[in-house]
């Protein structure tokens, strides 16, 4: 038994743990990057919107300062104070481009952003000339007369200049950058904590994953070392890993069963060969030593034993051929009724000699099959039925289509039947049930050949039997090509 490695298969558990850890760290890093980019974009948009709102507010305040008094008497200090509180500086220009006023230090003001907006005012027009209500008493009479004559137009909006606003970066965007910086630091701390948690969890998960694999590896090494009875006793594992452990035990059972079948095969072949070989050896030695004469009776006995050996070798050859039949089949469209009729014709004399009635109910059933192989199948089924049906009994061969339109052949007899305990094992190689009184026991090869050939054709074989009343064996084959 190999030395059990701590925490799993060598460094595999460590690689799995590091993989879990790497995935968790990458996930946190990606989330941080995406969140930071989104926050930066949103903060920039909010800051830009704030600048636009501030610009319009400053423009309106400047227009209100101009209203009615003109640039010469406009008080722009409220405008400069408003801009300063928002972290900005303003320069006001008249419509002609003349600088009317600027915030203190405007020329050296740090620029993080700049915006230029028009200044408008609501005035009345007299002959297309703006009328300022504070132009002196002398002008007031003229205005009143113009009003009386309706010479003054309705109030209208007039562009009176423009403002340029400089932002120093101390607004919401700077706050957002500081917040983003703090957020990144917090994310780094969160990533470190998540990495520690992921490391702890991944080690446990890796151990849970590796332990079942390690159990299978130890079991394989044990079986390779000759311990055929070794099985995995602890099947505690999640999902597919548990099925892996169960599958190893099931596979071990199947291999053990195969080994037993191979041993039984060798024993059965040796047992079957021993008797005719012993008879041949004894009789030939008697002939050689002059103990017996080469009479016709002795020669017939020797020939019978030779034929017995030949039949056994032929059965083994056919069984081996059935194993590889799927690679050798020559499948074409054939009528199973015609194939069955040919086999029945060859065996009818054997049935008559044994006193067993052979009847047919053959309906056309074309299937995709190898004609010679299916002849072997039907011949084996009829031979078995004849072997275990006493004189006076009946064997019936039927063909046709079932409810699913599959071509089928059914062989039924009124023989001794098969015990319920033996029925599941009938198609196993060299299986022979308990001795039936007065019946000839077979070698156990025929039904194994039938099962292999039907499987090679991708067909289905079914057996049913009632002890003392008879047996029914049926097989179906795939439909013929259209």
Q: What is the pLDDT of residues 303-352, one digit of tens each?
A: 877 887 787 777 777 667 666 655 578 889 999 999 999 999 989 988 99
pLDDT band per the 50, 70, 90 thresholds, residue 103: confident
pLDDT band per the 50, 70, 90 thresholds, residue 410: very high
Higher-pLDDT residue of 445 and 1 is 445
Range of lowest pLDDT (43-57, 86-100, 327-341, 414-428): 43-57
Q: For residue 474, what pLDDT is reported?
A: 95
State the distance between the two ends of the chain, measured CA to CA, in whole angstroms. Answer: 59
Overall residue count recorded for the chain in this entry: 482
Q: For residue 445, what pLDDT is reported?
A: 72
Higher-pLDDT residue of 37 and 464 is 464
Q: For residue 133, what pLDDT is reported?
A: 41
Distant-in-sequence, close-in-space partners of 234: CB < 8 Å, separation ≥ 6: 215
Q: For residue 40, what pLDDT is reported?
A: 61
Higher-pLDDT residue of 66 and 408 is 408
Q: Are 155 and 30 in contact (CB under 8 A)?
A: no
Mean residue pLDDT of the chain comes to 76
Residues 441-465, mean pLDDT to the nearest whole number: 82
Residue 98 has pLDDT above 80, yes or no: yes
Distant-in-sequence, close-in-space partners of 397: CB < 8 Å, separation ≥ 6: 340, 344, 358, 359, 360, 361, 362, 378, 382, 409, 410, 411
Q: For residue 81, what pLDDT is reported?
A: 86
Most confident segment among 29-33, 198-202, 359-363, 448-452: 359-363
pLDDT band per the 50, 70, 90 thresholds, residue 452: confident
Q: For residue 129, what pLDDT is reported?
A: 53
Token pair of 252, please?
């071990």
Q: Give the closest residue to 367 by CA, choosing from 404, 395, 396, 323.
A: 404
Residues 449-476, mean pLDDT to the nearest whole number: 90
Higher-pLDDT residue of 421 and 440 is 421
Distant-in-sequence, close-in-space partners of 99: CB < 8 Å, separation ≥ 6: 91, 92, 93
Range of lowest pLDDT (132-136, 223-227, 277-281): 132-136
> In angstroms, how far is CA 122 from the centroid of its own chain?
74
Q: For residue 319, what pLDDT is reported?
A: 67
Instruction: Please state the pTM of the whole predicted model.
Output: 0.46
CATH architecture group of domain 239-319 = Orthogonal Bundle (1.10)
Domain boundaries along the sequence of the chain: 1-222, 239-319, 328-477
Residue 160 has pLDDT above 50, yes or no: yes
Residues 241-248, mean pLDDT to the nearest whole number: 76
Distant-in-sequence, close-in-space partners of 358: CB < 8 Å, separation ≥ 6: 344, 347, 348, 351, 352, 382, 394, 395, 396, 397
Burial of 14: CB neighbours in 10 Å, binned 0-12, 13-18, 19+:
middle
What class has domain 328-477?
Answer: alpha beta
Higher-pLDDT residue of 2 and 114 is 114
Q: Are 280 and 299 in contact (CB under 8 A)?
A: no
pLDDT band per the 50, 70, 90 thresholds, residue 4: very low
3-state helix, strand, coil in the chain (%, to 5): 55, 20, 25
Higher-pLDDT residue of 360 and 20 is 360
Q: Give the closest residue to 450 by CA, choosing from 269, 325, 272.
A: 325
Residue 60 has pLDDT above 90, yes or no: no
């Amino acid at each position: 038994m190999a030395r059990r490695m701590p925490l799993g298969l060598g460094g595999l558990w460590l690689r799995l743990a590091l993989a879990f850890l790497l995935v968790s760290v990458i996930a946190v890093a990606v989330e941080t990057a995406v969140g930071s980019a989104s926050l930066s974009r949103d903060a920039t948009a909010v800051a830009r919107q704030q600048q636009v709102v501030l610009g319009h507010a400053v423009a309106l305040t400047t227009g209100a300062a101009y209203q009615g008094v003109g640039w010469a008497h406009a008080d722009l200090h409220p405008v400069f104070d408003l801009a300063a509180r928002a972290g900005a500086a303003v320069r006001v220009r008249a419509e002609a481009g003349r600088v009317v006023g600027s915030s203190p230090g405007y020329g050296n003001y740090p620029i993080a952003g700049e915006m230029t907006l028009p200044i408008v005012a609501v005035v009345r027009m007299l002959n297309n000339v703006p009328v300022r209500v504070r132009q002196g008493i002398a002008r007031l009479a003229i205005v009143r007369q113009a009003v009386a004559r309706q010479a003054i137009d309705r109030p209208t909006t007039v562009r009176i200049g423009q403002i340029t606003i400089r932002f120093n970066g101390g607004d919401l965007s700077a706050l957002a950058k500081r917040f983003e910086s703090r957020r990144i630091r917090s994310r780094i701390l969160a990533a470190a904590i998540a990495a520690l948690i992921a490391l702890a969890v991944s080690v446990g998960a890796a151990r849970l994953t590796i332990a079942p694999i390690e159990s299978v590896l130890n079991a394989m090494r044990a079986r390779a070392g000759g311990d055929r009875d070794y099985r995995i006793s602890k099947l505690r594992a999640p999902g597919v890993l548990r099925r892996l452990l169960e599958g190893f035990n099931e596979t071990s059972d199947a291999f053990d069963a195969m080994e037993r079948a191979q041993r039984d095969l060798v024993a059965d072949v040796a047992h079957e060969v021993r008797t005719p070989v012993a008879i041949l050896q004894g009789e030939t030695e008697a002939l050689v030593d002059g103990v017996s004469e080469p009479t016709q009776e002795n020669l017939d006995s020797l020939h019978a034993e030779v034929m017995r050996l030949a039949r056994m070798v032929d059965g083994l050859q056919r069984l081996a051929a059935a194993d590889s039949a799927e690679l050798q089949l020559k499948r074409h469209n054939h009528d199973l009724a015609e194939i069955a009729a040919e086999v029945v014709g060859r065996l009818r004399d054997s049935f008559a000699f044994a006193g067993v009635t052979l009847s047919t109910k053959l309906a056309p059933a074309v299937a995709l099959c190898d004609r010679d192989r299916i002849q072997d199948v039907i011949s084996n089924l009829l031979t078995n039925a004849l072997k275990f049906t006493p004189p006076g009994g009946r064997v019936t061969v039927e063909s046709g289509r079932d409810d699913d339109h599959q071509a089928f052949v059914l062989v039924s007899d009124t023989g001794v039947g098969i015990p319920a305990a033996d029925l599941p094992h009938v198609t196993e190689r060299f299986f022979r049930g308990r001795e039936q009184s007065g019946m000839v026991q077979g070698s156990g090869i025929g039904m194994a050949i039938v099962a292999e050939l039907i499987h090679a054709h991708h067909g289905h074989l079914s057996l049913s039997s009632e002890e003392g009343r008879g047996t029914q064996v049926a097989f179906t084959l795939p439909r013929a090509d259209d």
